Structure 1
């Protein structure tokens, strides 16, 4: 009996326990169901707006600038070479790399002994030639006089022959006498011919002596020139380079001793593409004399000089594209041959173009223009030039049209925009994620000035507030949920934000 009573008591306790557990489960389920069904008042969906910088298209005549890189070269260079072989006996104190010399300065002196001996020998040859010429001229005078005497004698013999023939005709003379007179006249004529041949020979000897004298004088002048060139002088005012001579050294004929460069006759040579070259030519294909600016970076600053395009390379090297352009420097002070400089060429002026950031267009050369109700529309543009981070465009739009300065994947045709203008005090409140942090902070700050009772949150500020809310220990889950929903809004009441820090303990 006692066993039965204890069994019934145990069953009763078990039933009560199971009942209480079922009741608890039911209450928890009802509480969760009620909490799930308790939602805030439904908000009407609003259109998402994006913030972006806009610029006003200002069409005007602009001069594009073409940037290239080239090498400075000298247009006036002189190789200082030895005209003959010999020993260097003296060097100028300024005969050094980088030294500046004046025109006519003696740079190098070679040993003149052998060249002076050659000059003296040439001078003696001239004296011999002069003596031979004088002798030939005297012989010519004598031969000429001898010819005149022979002619007079031939004339007398001829008259004697004619007189004897006349006497013979009148019967006063004999045939033998006449024949003898005729033979004498013939001999006199033969003598005249011999004297004429002698005169011709004398004249030839005189001419040959004259030629020999001229040759001797040429040799003397050449000897004087070679002797003078033992003193090597600067051909013009300039700077020495590649100096390779020492006092006492032996040099060979035509050996290069240094190079003289004119620092005031410099040009820059740079390469451009074929497309860029076409922009620099006139309708006839000739290079325009356009202005340019040459810049050279240095530790102490930047060296600049104006330049003018002067000519184009005659041929294109194998394996190289484009064209070589030469520009003359107007103020070459500070530049040196071999410098690598930046060249900025002023291209011909373009009419009715606008300058925009390069990010304002996409790959299809399309702009996003601001239309009615601040909605974006696509505008086709023509990209005429690209200059670093900017472009020059031409588009068929009305004047003062506003366009997006920097396109992003979030912006497109039909999107409503909250424009950010230069100097504008307004800001975009609904800033999407992914916008640059600095732009978001600036937009939030401008919006807070316009709405003191409401605070526009940036993504970073919202994240900090959520972290503080999670760390709060004296808030109920329901209150935390309510504040979390308020933090998801674009603008949050300032009073709510003022409560979060004290609730989070700091």
Structure 2
């Protein structure tokens, strides 16, 4: 058997050799991990610098003026009346149910006896059948005639017994004398005649009452009768409403009563009132009235004081009121009561007030100034200023977004006193007229 020599192992120390492929991979790995990110950052930095240098340059804008254009109005001092505003309901001053004073059948009705028909005092409304009452009257006439005849016969007998008594010449008691002279019989017949005459008067009165007449000037509100109806003293024939004057029950705040003049027995002066019904008449049309009474109690719900306002000729039937709108019952109307006058005051629209009791003024140095004022009276639309303002002041009427005292202003565009901005031009002209210092607040 051949002897095979053992394999000789590799030498323990061999020089390590590196292939070209592994060196390239190592270099690429270093480039991706380190060199490429640094190059990207550097490129981004350079591009940013180039963009910043080559972009549009911001140019400084010219500074704007902080001045604000405003509108102002001058003020006018005068004797302005307080204008109290209220709401009320129209009611009749007179309204009665016409009832007959006798029973009977209706045989005739006036052509005007319809709802809305107008009658004057004493004009015939309807006629009841007078036959029974005429017969009764004739019977009473006969009864009176009979009583008169009986009395005449007795008076003749009185003459006879008087002569017999004088011829007798006897002295008797006073009671016997009265019997002898038939005084009781005479008194009884006199009473019978008086009773018969009274019954005749009653019969004639009942006969006259079969003709139903209007108790006063007015219009028919309701009608509950027709020809052929049988009526009694409890039957309501019609409702007649007086059309000479209507009342308006107005509700006002209790604190406003101090400005209203209410007539008394000693002093007949009263506050005048303008009545508006915008939904029916338009914004500027009004009727005139006057305060006549202060009702004794407050409203049960609103706790408001109640005034009674009278309006003459509410249906515009008089020649002086031709063309004026009629004031209808149950209408809900607005009232402007001209109250007592505040002397030496300034009237401003309420919207000119700032922070309750301040106004903005256009100062002499063309800056915004705040001024606190004293208010003597105010309502929904206007205020009456008693102090804190002078006739040289110019009140700012326009709005300022951020009001700061001392703000520089431009203008002003001045309006006449009483003129205002925005929706104020839509106010009824009557308000301006009612607010004028020339309009009086009282009349007799």
Preserved contact between residue 74 and residue 415 of structure 2 (Cα < 8 Å): no
- Quote the Cα distance in structure 1 between the aligned partners of 2:112 and 2:62: 91
Give yes or no for the alignment of 1:327 onto 2:319: no
Preserved contact between residue 252 and residue 304 of structure 2 (Cα < 8 Å): yes
Query: Paired residue for 1:391?
Result: 383
- CA pair 112-295 structure 1, distance change in 2 beyond 3 A: same
Alignment map for 1:230-245 (pairs within 5 Å): 230-245=210-225
Give yes or no for the alignment of 1:290 onto 2:271: yes
Preserved contact between residue 262 and residue 294 of structure 2 (Cα < 8 Å): no
1:229 deviates by: 1.0
- CA pair 337-21 structure 1, distance change in 2 beyond 3 A: closer
1:217 deviates by: 0.9
Higher relative contact order (CA 8 A, sep 6+): 2
Identify which of 22, 30, 35 aligns with 2:41. Answer: 22
- Quote the Cα distance in structure 2 between the aligned partners of 1:8 and 1:342: 102
CA RMSD of aligned residues (A): 3.5
The gaps in structure 1 that reach 5 residues or longer are: 152-187, 425-435, 437-506
Query: Paired residue for 1:196?
Result: 177
Identify which of 212, 220, 228 aligns with 2:200. Answer: 220
Give yes or no for the alignment of 1:208 onto 2:226: no
Query: Paired residue for 2:293?
Result: 311
Identify which of 394, 401, 417 aligns with 1:402. Answer: 394
- Quote the Cα distance in structure 2 between the aligned partners of 1:339 and 1:42: 65
Alignment map for 1:81-92 (pairs within 5 Å): 81-92=99-110
1:193 deviates by: 6.8
- CA pair 345-380 structure 1, distance change in 2 beyond 3 A: same
- Quote the Cα distance in structure 2 between the aligned partners of 1:147 and 1:255: 61
Preserved contact between residue 361 and residue 395 of structure 2 (Cα < 8 Å): yes
TM-score w.r.t. length of structure 1: 0.66
- Quote the Cα distance in structure 2 between the aligned partners of 1:303 and 1:57: 28
Preserved contact between residue 238 and residue 263 of structure 1 (Cα < 8 Å): yes
1:315 deviates by: 4.0
1:222 deviates by: 0.9
Give yes or no for the alignment of 1:143 onto 2:161: yes
- CA pair 335-76 structure 1, distance change in 2 beyond 3 A: same
**3-state SS, counterpart of residue 413 of structure 1:** coil
Query: Paired residue for 1:377?
Result: 369
Query: Paired residue for 2:442?
Result: none
Preserved contact between residue 97 and residue 241 of structure 1 (Cα < 8 Å): yes
Identify which of 95, 109, 124 aligns with 2:127. Answer: 109
1:321 deviates by: 2.7
- Quote the Cα distance in structure 2 between the aligned partners of 1:303 and 1:56: 29
Preserved contact between residue 360 and residue 407 of structure 1 (Cα < 8 Å): no
Preserved contact between residue 73 and residue 266 of structure 1 (Cα < 8 Å): yes
Alignment map for 1:407-422 (pairs within 5 Å): 410-422=402-414
The structure whose Rg is larger is 1
1:299 deviates by: 4.8
The gaps in structure 2 that reach 5 residues or longer are: 1-18, 317-325, 417-421, 423-444
- Quote the Cα distance in structure 2 between the aligned partners of 1:303 and 1:212: 69
Query: Paired residue for 2:432?
Result: none
- Quote the Cα distance in structure 2 between the aligned partners of 1:205 and 1:355: 90
**3-state SS, counterpart of residue 256 of structure 1:** coil
1:24 deviates by: 0.6
- Quote the Cα distance in structure 2 between the aligned partners of 1:194 and 1:326: 68
1:113 deviates by: 3.2
- Quote the Cα distance in structure 2 between the aligned partners of 1:287 and 1:193: 66
Query: Paired residue for 1:354?
Result: 346
Preserved contact between residue 219 and residue 242 of structure 2 (Cα < 8 Å): yes
- CA pair 106-69 structure 1, distance change in 2 beyond 3 A: same
1:411 deviates by: 1.0
Give yes or no for the alignment of 1:278 onto 2:258: yes
TM-score w.r.t. length of structure 2: 0.75
- CA pair 264-304 structure 1, distance change in 2 beyond 3 A: farther
- CA pair 274-288 structure 1, distance change in 2 beyond 3 A: farther
1:57 deviates by: 2.6
- CA pair 39-316 structure 1, distance change in 2 beyond 3 A: closer
- Quote the Cα distance in structure 2 between the aligned partners of 1:348 and 1:55: 26
Report which of the two has the higher share of strand. 2
Query: Paired residue for 2:141?
Result: 123
1:259 deviates by: 1.8
Preserved contact between residue 262 and residue 291 of structure 2 (Cα < 8 Å): no
Alignment map for 1:37-52 (pairs within 5 Å): 40=59, 48-52=66-70
- CA pair 317-396 structure 1, distance change in 2 beyond 3 A: closer
Preserved contact between residue 70 and residue 269 of structure 1 (Cα < 8 Å): yes
- Quote the Cα distance in structure 1 between the aligned partners of 2:354 and 2:415: 26
- Quote the Cα distance in structure 2 between the aligned partners of 1:296 and 1:283: 26
- CA pair 194-81 structure 1, distance change in 2 beyond 3 A: closer
Preserved contact between residue 308 and residue 327 of structure 1 (Cα < 8 Å): yes
Preserved contact between residue 376 and residue 414 of structure 1 (Cα < 8 Å): yes
